[in-house]
Structure 1
Amino acid sequence: MRTALYSVITGTGSYLPTRIVTNESFVASAFFEANGQPLTKPGAEIVERFAQITDIQERRYAEDDQVASDLAYLAARNLLETHNIDPETLDYILVAHNFGDVSVDNRRSDFVPTLAARVKHKLGIENPHNIAYDLPFGCPGWLQGVIQADYYLRSGDAKRVLVIGAETLSRVCDPHDRDSMIYADGAGTILLEARESDTPIGILAHGSRSDTVQAAHLLRMAKSYNPEYVGEELFLKMEGRKLYEYALKTVPQAIHDTLAKAGLTIGDMSKLLIHQANGKMDEAILKRLYALYNEPNIPAGVMPMTISRLGNSSVATLPTLLDLILRHQLPGTTIEPGEHIVFASVGAGMNCNAVVYRVPAE
């Protein structure tokens, strides 16, 4: 087989905010339905039911003096220092997010300059040929950045690309909407490099889809469910049941098709690293995926999860999960050379994507 360029992960990093918010913190919250009617069930019952549906027990929130670009910078610095990478050698910095920088005292999205430009500035990178830009693509934004990076690397346009996912969903969730308990803050990143190989390694295949005609507004911005809420802020809202149905319909098929594109089948997949959106939904996706292959037996540990303690930090969930595994901070989960890893994500747009990755030999 002739030598070819492949995109290989050569470093990971993350930043987990130190502020831990448990489910018990929401017991006294005043929650409302979408029609403005208050929920009448006791707070403890609402919170318990939420935990049963999502598997979430706690989540991380950024400190009041932090915004998304700060978290992105801290994750990038973590990677660069850990792996002794000169930031001047980076060709691209891609930052996936959805809301820009949202501060505690002014909850409006701030996109100018881009978060990627802010990260480059904080890192002190002087190289003008280091191109920094943002990618808003819903929760699949970080994985879409990985896909874009793969094109740059395999074309020879770049040798090193930093792909970051950072979000502060705690700043855009309605305190009177029980769905707000899902959301969290955090940042994660990987370094992708071009590597020549005469056997396929790194990113083997990927696929994406956008379904906007029927599904564009399953996640959207709207006013608080509390009709007496004082303020003009818009908050993140979702059509939970329809979103669940969309995910079950599209994600398993996307994974199936991407494995096929790589010439692989479900038995070749050692790990599924899926966007940590909702524990029960991700489990349903996994079952539907194996059902596509008429495979009743799902290997134990094939889909490692962090959502129970980290919540849903949107674009940050996948790179954070990978970093925790590779740093041996997720007990019982390892990634070994030669394994085939599948990344998959779904979210606002609605968008969905998947990547098949073969871990290179050391």
Structure 2
Amino acid sequence: MGFAKISQVAHYAPSQVITNDDLSTIMDTNDEWISSRTGIKQRRISQSEMTSDLAGQVAQQLLDKSGIGADEIDFIIVATITPDSMMPSTAARVQAKIGAKNAFVFDLSAACSGFVFALSTAEKFIASGQYRKGMVIGAETLSKTLDWSDRRTAVLFGDGAGGVLIEATSEQHFLAESMNADGSRGGLSSGVVGLQSPFSDQMSDDKFLKMDGRAIFDFTIRDVSKSIAQLIEDSKIGVEHLDYLLLHQANSRILDKMAKKIDIPREKFLANMMAYGNTSAASIPILLSESVDKGIIHLDGSQTVLLAGFGGGLTWGSLIVKI
């Protein structure tokens, strides 16, 4: 048995920026309405790039930044709810793009918890001692699932990808985790899922992502806050030893309320939803990568961070990691 560490980070977003003012020209909304309720000011939208294109850019950056060869990668996990196709997987397409011929690959679908679930899975692969290097990427093109006349959802989401290189190490970096799901409440969010058969009476015209925003908000403040607080308590890692919390970037008001709920200073909750919107499985790794670029997080093992995802499924999960 061994240990795993995050050794490199990267992110990528489409070049097209759609501001709140842009949205006001196609639907009944405005910048004040959106930003006051969500903190979101703009989002990136893919015109021609698919999810695998965004993820492939991240994968290539991870290789370039780390200086390792693609043939050294043992596995690639892509967390996404907007795959290019059901088969081949988005991860398989990424493998082909970077030439990681020795890697086993698969997609993981857990909505906004996807990156945390995938990172937890990757850590177990490395800890087994059988694998040395892997990539975990969260990537979404949610704009392709939206009804752009529905301001309840269209103003919230954006496209992007982020990821990490995870490697074997001799010291423990993954300190504690909590992974959860409640399928009985899965109906609170739904989207474009599965294949439909012309021989089935289950055909549906519902092609767009839908969400009960109020119920999801309440679930997050109640259940996710409790889960994070319990993980911190069980880990015996004092709140004062947490340098930063990187939570799924859904809504700035969620971060405000969660900070009060679990009694942690708000400034420890990093945020970038104002520039990207909700990018589901991509939100945490994009935030992590940007924080490294800005010098907030150092990737030298000197800081302790809590990563937490929550969303459709319902799913929620947290990791405490030395980074």
TM-score, length of structure 2 as denominator length: 0.91
Matches of 2:223 and 2:318, distance apart in 1: 11
**By how many angstroms is 1:259 displaced?**
2.1
Q: Does 1:320 align with 2:286?
A: yes
User: Which residue is 2:249 aligned to?
Assistant: 276
**By how many angstroms is 1:174 displaced?**
0.9
Secondary structure of 2:59 counterpart:
helix
| 1:252 paired residue among 225, 230, 242 | 225
| 1:14 paired residue among 11, 14, 29 | 11
Secondary structure of 2:183 counterpart:
coil
**Structure 1 segment 1-362 matched on structure 2, within 5 A:** 5-30=2-27, 43-44=29-30, 47-62=31-46, 64-101=47-84, 110-127=85-102, 130-178=103-151, 179-197=153-171, 201-213=172-184, 215-221=185-191, 232=205, 234-290=207-263, 298-299=264-265, 301-328=267-294, 333-335=296-298, 337-359=301-323
AA aligned opposite 2:236: G
Secondary structure of 2:160 counterpart:
strand
Q: How many residues align?
A: 310
**By how many angstroms is 1:338 displaced?**
2.7
**By how many angstroms is 1:278 displaced?**
0.9
Determine if contact 1:54/1:279 at 8 Å carries over to the other structure.
yes
Determine if contact 2:244/2:268 at 8 Å carries over to the other structure.
yes
Matches of 1:221 and 1:300, distance apart in 2: 32
**By how many angstroms is 1:72 displaced?**
0.3
- Give the RMSD, CA atoms, in angstroms: 1.8
Secondary structure of 1:312 counterpart:
coil
AA aligned opposite 1:76: A
Matches of 2:254 and 2:115, distance apart in 1: 20
Secondary structure of 1:79 counterpart:
helix
Determine if contact 1:170/1:183 at 8 Å carries over to the other structure.
yes
What per-residue deviation string (whole Å, max 9, x for no partner) do you get for residues 309-340 of structure 1? 111111111111111111227xxx34464321
User: Which residue is 2:195 aligned to?
Assistant: none
Of structures 1 and 2, the larger Rg is shown by 1
Matches of 2:91 and 2:232, distance apart in 1: 31
AA aligned opposite 1:112: M
TM-score, length of structure 1 as denominator length: 0.82
Matches of 2:260 and 2:105, distance apart in 1: 39
AA aligned opposite 2:276: L
**By how many angstroms is 1:79 displaced?**
1.3
Structure 2 unaligned spans of 5+: 193-203
Matches of 1:69 and 1:81, distance apart in 2: 18
AA aligned opposite 2:96: H
Determine if contact 2:229/2:262 at 8 Å carries over to the other structure.
yes
The structure that is helix-richer by fraction is 2
AA aligned opposite 1:126: K
Secondary structure of 1:250 counterpart:
helix
Determine if contact 1:14/1:320 at 8 Å carries over to the other structure.
yes
Determine if contact 1:14/1:79 at 8 Å carries over to the other structure.
no
**By how many angstroms is 1:133 displaced?**
0.4
Determine if contact 2:259/2:265 at 8 Å carries over to the other structure.
no
**By how many angstroms is 1:87 displaced?**
1.3
Determine if contact 1:256/1:265 at 8 Å carries over to the other structure.
no
Structure 1 unaligned spans of 5+: 32-42, 102-109, 223-230, 291-297
**By how many angstroms is 1:157 displaced?**
2.5
**By how many angstroms is 1:221 displaced?**
2.8
User: Which residue is 1:295 aligned to?
Assistant: none
**By how many angstroms is 1:52 displaced?**
0.3
Identity of aligned residues (%): 28
User: Which residue is 1:228 aligned to?
Assistant: none
AA aligned opposite 1:204: L
